[in-house]
Structure 1
Amino acid sequence: MPDKVCRDLPPDSDFLQKICKAVWSEEIEPSEFEERWAKVISEFKLENNDWLLQIYEKREMWIPAYFRDLFLCGIMRTTSRSESENNFYTKFTNPHLTLVEFYMRFESSLDAQRHTQGENDNSSKHKHPECKTRSSIEKFASEVYTTTVFYEFQDKVESALFSCGLDSFKKEFGLDVYTIGEGCRVRKFDVLFNVETFDTSCLCKSFERQGIPCRHMVWVWKAKHIQKIPDAYVLNRWSIMACKKTIFDLEGNELEQCVQVVDRKRLLNDLWSEIHSCVSLAQGNELTLSALVDNLRSLRLDLESQSSIVDGLSGSVSSKAQDIELLIGAGVPSEILIKPPKVSKNKGTGVHVQGSGSDKRLKSDKEKAIEQSQKKKRLCKGCKKLGYHDIRNCPEKQK
């Protein structure tokens, strides 16, 4: 936008600040965005700017106000997820890799993600974050949410307790309607609350976008003396139990293969969790760390000996070729039809005939001296001396 619009405006113009405030606000309706846009465009007399007219026609595809009812898991743009993945895998791959190298690096990148996820799971399972208030809702959130999501929800709890307040209250269609204000902000938000079912809905629609209750909903729950977040507003994807639930098919039956994978994954997660816990407990004492290393080394040696015994009984001998076949999932074919292409010479390198010894490129003095020293000396019939010449090119004859 600075290149498309700001070059036609004064240097001290606040156009960018005003247009960004209108565009990137997630709490306004589409109609309000259109009013703000028209006001800013009219103020700076940009009605005839072709680029602004073009992007305004596509406003439903990129303006956050049009995605208020769409669950985006907290990301601002619909392409943020793919952009994040692209940035991550770019660190491990490049366009010049072979297929096998790409596969190996792709697996390494997935292992890095699994390792990071394992550390986060362990942190969420064994380390309860510190609460900043005495709210029972905040304490409940620290027990059910992952660490990252809890810190985000904690900010909402603080805002609900110290920044939000009741502006008005009324009843409509059997629902309690709270109008919540925030300090000096002019904007107010209505929260609809069902006393019987605890169903809560806020016009800011933060929960619909992120899946995390907003500060206005938290304020109403606190006013109603609710001690924990209602179950309907604790999404499984943000809880610490998200990775430990089985997978069902469309008919509601457990998938047997998925159950086996989930059980194995659960064991691996528990194993990494125990390892990280032991390291966390022992890291403050050098003697304890040394004992932990000795125990792990002893356990590794026992596992290696058991593995060698099993391999000996099965008669299998691992080799480099077998490891590669296991990695790529295919064996060496009996007949190789596709072969590497012939190496072509670069332009300007001269004539190179493999095996013939012909080489028409210019040689340096050093190469000539080396080749001369490797030749066998012979007796010249002209000067009767041993050398690298004969009677035809004898130096004495030329004199």
Structure 2
Amino acid sequence: MGKRFRMRLDINKNELKVSMDGVTVQLLPKEFALFQFLYRNRGHYFTREQLLDQVWPLEYPVERTVDDHIYRLRKKLALFSGVEIKTVRGSGYGLAPRDSEEYFPTSQDIEVHDSMHDILRKYHLYGQGRSMMVLAREQDTLGYKLDSFYSSYVHFVQGDLQWLLQTDNVPLQERFYWALLFYMFSGDPKDKLVICEQVLEKKLLSPVQHREMEILNILDLYALAGMPEKALERLKLSYHVLTDPEYENFIPQTKITELFVHLVAGSEERMLQSMADEIEGKILPAKPFLRENGNYKIVKGLWRLRQEAWYDAENLLDEGLQVLENSGFVPMYLYALYRINHFCELFPPKERIREKYANLYDDELERLGLNKLIPQMNALIQKGLNRL
């Protein structure tokens, strides 16, 4: 049998999700039922027959059904560093802690801690979200602990909206900005622009977040809300700030956003081409960040849409989306689809193309559960506006 033990698990019954140390896994209904039973009886072991009786009552599955579900559940739980489904000969299956991770001596070594966070920051800089998640979920095995910033940020990276909206473990001020960015990527840009301007006016964000919002994130909203001239005016502030070496890594995305704003503003082809040449020939080779490469392909694809070069446009948009999906930065993938769809409202392409990316955007909203969470999202944003 065994004894019970404590786990750092966050279980969402409504969404069939389980989270641990910044990592969330999505389960199917029967996988969740099996997990829930094993979790309630953690430290104990059950035979196939016992599991069939408990998880599949009044059904007639074969013993292989248990093995298949155990295999899939075990594979998903492998993302967690502190727990696993173990098999004990003669006793069966049970949920148990992994052996000894929390006792690695390196967990007390400051040099190891600093080195791991330096690597994490590099992955962050280069836009390698999947690499970040590997480090996050293996922190016990590697013998270090995420700091408070990355403990929250990994939820943003993987699109864990439920956690951002509902957790009580992190103060609202620390997760407000991440939730706000998701809020920006849905609905009418004009409505979102009003909220973002209020956030800036009230100075609700940390200094770094405030600066990022005012010199970069709000530019797209101005453009998509039909006010590209305001974005162009704001870019003067952006480039003034970018003279500070501390913000040099903002240059690629700012240049790409500037190209997008000029595209929406209807600037001449010669100007657009000059900007594109600088981005391709100078900016991206010097700073080959994954997110920026994906975003540039998106903007270039939108440029081809404006030129009615449908085949090239679609290829570039698909390539950009693939790069962003491969990066593992869920918000950037959603943001690209938001950008595409609202650009298509301003400059309608062929109906087939418009419908294709509208469907992709709707699918992503559904996958993230954003549509269902809009009331909670609105409530959190209003709470932040009133209390922070």
Q: Name the TM tier (shorter chain).
A: under 0.3
Q: Which has the higher helix share?
A: 2
Structure with bigger gyration radius: 1
Per the normalisation by structure 2, the TM-score is 0.23
Per the normalisation by structure 1, the TM-score is 0.23
